[in-house]
């Protein structure tokens, strides 16, 4: 379980998260909405442990352990993973090596790459000259190899062409042990019951909602949680009245 | 020949154009005696291990032939392949009429006091030649080994790839583990004839107080390819090297790759200069340098003298634990229709890259090492697998010094 209590964060001299409370139960996936600059990415980076995001108050617990001041690699080893929106390009570092690092000996790189339709990229330098969609597929391939308990997705659908959007959606479902929202049978119920993976997904376009059925949604506005509810309903409201109105009505 | 000696004599105190000046008199020219080595496996293990670090394969399994020089003495020289000749240069000068067409024909004896010294106090060196039409895909190997403390090793090498031939050479330099101080001066002349392919990979594995002054010049004829790689990742006091390649025939290509690691106290001034003198010639100079406390000057110079030529220069430098990185890329086009470009970047590893890898589970040290290894793994097209493996091994070994 991820438990965030009254989290306050500064980036440089700027307060970017003011009072954030968030709880993600095992098996639960939540969608994070919010306009540009509302603190969505900052929240993910803070959960991942990026040191430039200084926690000035509150705490983060993961599976009962206080990780508020833990190093990034320690959090990764505890089972937190992140899909970046704009990860850095690293000259000379082959994508294959990167996926091996993530797998840490627990997964077969070639099999995974094949399932992500990404084999031809394995011998290329990570993210160097990748298109937006290729970056997303590379990120998800790494996360498949890492198999984290809590996965943070920063706009996983941005820059992805229509051809690959369902591949991205299905991969996120696999990572989070979810099935496509259109299926409803006994298997679905069983999977839902046994599910333990947690997810927190930032979406801008909402496209991902067509593929991933999330349990909850929340709206971040000006560094605070301005509303919570059914993610599909929230998205409808945002489309209709915009973030500002939505934040006001939810508050 | 007499007049060349006179020229050399006049230049015997001439400082080099660049690089720290060396007092030649502080090194010994008194050679130690070394017996011939018939079987490479009879070389004492500790020396063999040092030579292996500079790329020597004592089993010769993956090698077409071998030349080994200990201090001033050529102790082993021989080819295992038809059409490949490996001869000590002193023997060649005595016995081969044709050598005079190559000896000091590209390099000038009066370049500086190091070329003069090699002319006046030549100890030995190798002549490696592949006959016309012969394609030798296994590399020929050479090793210059410095065993006598404070010794000045002076060598002259000539490499000839005859028309339509293929030749790969791995030339290593190493010092015995007890040696701390020495001077290696080497003149190399490369001849790549019509449609020939030559790859030359030099690996240096010296000691902390060794000074190195290679002086290399190459010429590439029509349709020829010259691939020149230089790897120096172990501590050394000072290397100053600026090999020059002339592309004189239509479609000739030269590529030069350098991988450098500068340790504290090391001074590396390394570069490459390529003249594009014929139509459709191509040049590429790539350098990857890491300093973890050393001083590195990475040079590159491409000169386009006729229309329709292309050249690209790439210097990337990484500062890890202090030190100085100075990239000096130069391009000059002397006519219309030359296409020359360069990119140079000097910096430290971005924190963002380290954190990216840490978020995949690596510690900060592991992340840094992974990025450094990637930085040094350059894909060198046209290099045989066994040489690629040698370079990878050198990169692997450098990790200890870098981190």
Please check whether residues B332 and B382 belong to one and the same domain: no
Please check whether residues B383 and B332 belong to one and the same domain.
no
Per-residue confidence (pLDDT) for residue B381, from 0 to 100:
76
The reply to whether A142 touches chain B by the CB within 8 Å rule is yes
Across the interface, of A76, A93, A142, the residue whose CB is closest to B371 is A93
Q: Least CB-CB distance to A142: which of B355, B360, B376?
A: B360
- Predicted-assembly ipTM surpassing the 0.90 threshold: yes
Residue B403 pLDDT:
60
Same domain, B399 and B328: no
User: Could you tell me if B37 and B160 lie in one domain?
Assistant: yes
Which residue range forms the structural domain that includes residue B379?
349-403
Q: Last residue of some domain: B306, B328, B348?
A: B348
Query: Any CB–CB contact under 8 A between A62 and chain B?
Result: no
Task: Judge if B247 and B193 occupy the same domain.
Answer: yes
| B73-79 and B65-70 beta bridge pairing | antiparallel
Domain ranges of chain A: 2-250
Which of the residues A84, A88, A145 would you substitute to probe the B interface, choosing the one with the greatest number of B C-beta atoms within 10 Å?
A88
Residues B9 and B154 reside in one and the same domain: yes
Same domain, B339 and B386: no
Tens digit of pLDDT for each residue in A35-66?
988 999 999 999 999 999 999 999 999 999 99
B268 with B387, same domain: the answer is no
Chain A and chain B share a number of CB contacts under 8 A equal to 64
Looking at the structure, do residues B341 and B362 belong to the same domain, yes or no? Answer: no
pLDDT band at A204 (very low <50, low <70, confident <90, very high): confident
The pLDDT score that the predictor gives to residue A46 is: 98
Could you tell me which CATH number the domain at A2-250 has?
3.40.50.300
pLDDT mean for each 10 residues of chain B (403 residues)? 88 95 95 91 92 91 95 96 97 97 97 97 97 97 96 98 97 94 97 98 92 97 97 92 97 96 93 97 96 94 97 94 92 96 92 97 94 86 79 76 62
Whether residues B116 and B192 share a domain: the answer is yes
Contact residues, chain B, for A142 at CB < 8 Å: 360
- Last-in-domain residue among B348, B372, B390: B348
**Mean per-residue pLDDT for A197-221?**
91
- Domain check: are B321 and B399 in the same one? no
Nearest CA-CA distance, residue B284 and chain A, Å: 18
SS (H, E, C) B242-289: CCEEEECCCCCEEEEEEEEEECCCCEEEECCEEEECCCCCEEEEEEEE
Taking CA–CA distances from A142, the nearest residue in chain B reads B360
Shortest distance between the Cα of B371 and any Cα of chain A, in A, equals: 7
Count of structural domains within chain B? 2
Distance from CA of B312 to the nearest CA of A (A): 18
The residue among A184 and B368 whose pLDDT is bigger is B368
Instruction: Say whether both B295 and B355 belong to one domain.
Output: no
| Optimal mutation site among B359, B374, B378, B379, interface A, most CBs of chain A within 10 A | B359
- CB distance from A91 to chain B under 8 Å? yes
pTM: 0.85
Strand order in the sheet with A216-221: A65-66, A53-62, A2-11, A14-24, A224-229, A216-221, A29-33, A198-202, A150-154, A80-83
Q: Which two tokens stand for residue B221?
A: 């004829």
**Each residue of A96-123: pLDDT tens digit?**
999 999 999 989 999 999 988 899 999 9
């Amino acid at each position: 379980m991820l438990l965030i209590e009254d989290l306050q964060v500064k980036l440089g001299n700027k307060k970017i998260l003011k009072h954030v409370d968030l709880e993600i139960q095992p098996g639960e996936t939540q969608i994070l909405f919010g306009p540009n600059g509302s603190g969505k990415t900052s929240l993910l980076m803070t959960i991942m442990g990026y040191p430039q995001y200084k926690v000035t108050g509150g705490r983060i617990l993961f599976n009962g352990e206080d990780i508020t001041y833990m190093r990034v690699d320690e959090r990764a080893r505890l089972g937190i993973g992140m899909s970046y929106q704009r990860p850095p390009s690293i000259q000379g570092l082959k994508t294959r090596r990167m996926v091996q690092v993530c797998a840490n000996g627990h997964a077969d790189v070639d099999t995974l790459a094949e399932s992500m339709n990404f084999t031809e990229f394995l011998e290329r330098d990570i993210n160097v000259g990748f298109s937006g969609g290729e970056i997303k597929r590379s990120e998800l391939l790494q996360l498949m190899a890492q198999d984290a308990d809590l996965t943070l997705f920063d706009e996983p659908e941005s820059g992805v062409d229509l051809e690959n959007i369902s591949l991205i959606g299905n991969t996120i479902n696999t990572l989070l042990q979810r099935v496509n929202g259109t299926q409803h049978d006994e298997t679905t119920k069983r999977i839902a019951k046994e599910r333990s993976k947690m997810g927190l997904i930032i979406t801008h376009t909402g496209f991902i909602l067509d593929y991933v059925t999330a349990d909850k949604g929340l709206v971040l506005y000006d560094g605070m949680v301005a509303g919570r509810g059914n993610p599909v309903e929230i998205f409808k409201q945002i489309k209709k009245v915009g973030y500002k109105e939505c934040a006001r009505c939810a508050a | 020949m007499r007049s060349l000696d006179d020229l050399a004599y006049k230049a015997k105190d001439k400082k080099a154009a660049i690089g720290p000046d060396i007092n030649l008199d502080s090194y010994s020219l008194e050679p130690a005696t070394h017996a011939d080595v018939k079987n490479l496996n009879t070389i004492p293990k500790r020396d063999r291990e040092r030579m292996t670090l500079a790329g020597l394969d004592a089993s010769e399994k993956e090698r077409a032939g071998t030349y080994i020089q200990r201090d001033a003495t050529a102790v082993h020289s021989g080819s295992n392949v038809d059409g490949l000749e490996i001869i000590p240069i002193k023997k060649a000068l005595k016995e081969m009429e044709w050598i005079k067409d190559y000896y000091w024909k590209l390099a000038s004896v009066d370049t500086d006091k190091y070329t003069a010294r090699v002319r006046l106090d030549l100890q030995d060196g190798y002549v490696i030649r592949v006959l016309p039409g012969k394609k030798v895909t296994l590399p020929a190997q050479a090793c210059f080994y410095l065993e006598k403390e404070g010794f000045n090793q002076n060598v002259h090498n000539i490499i000839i790839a005859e028309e339509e031939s293929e030749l790969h050479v791995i030339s290593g330099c190493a010092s015995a583990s007890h040696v701390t101080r020495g001077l290696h001066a080497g003149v190399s002349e490369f001849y790549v004839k019509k449609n020939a392919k030559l790859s030359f990979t030099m690996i240096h594995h010296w000691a902390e107080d060794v000074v190195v002054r290679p002086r290399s010049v190459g010429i590439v004829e029509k349709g020829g390819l010259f691939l020149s790689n230089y790897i120096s990742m172990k501590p050394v006091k000072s290397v100053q090297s600026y090999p020059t390649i002339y592309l004189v025939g239509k479609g000739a290509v030269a590529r030069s790759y350098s991988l450098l690691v500068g340790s504290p106290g090391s001074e590396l001034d390394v570069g490459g200069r390529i003249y594009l003198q014929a139509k459709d010639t191509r040049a590429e100079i790539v350098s990857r340098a890491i300093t973890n406390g050393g001083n590195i000057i990475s040079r590159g110079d491409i000169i386009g003298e006729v229309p329709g030529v292309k050249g690209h220069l790439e210097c990337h430098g990484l500062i890890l634990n202090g030190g100085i990185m100075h990239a000096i890329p130069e391009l000059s086009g002397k006519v219309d229709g030359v296409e020359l470009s360069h990119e140079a970047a000097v910096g430290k590893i971005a924190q963002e890259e380290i954190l990216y890898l840490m978020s995949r589970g690596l510690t900060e040290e592991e992340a840094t090492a992974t990025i450094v290894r990637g930085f040094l793994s350059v894909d060198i097209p046209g290099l045989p697998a066994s040489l690629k493996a040698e370079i990878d091994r050198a990169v692997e070994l450098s990790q200890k010094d870098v981190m």
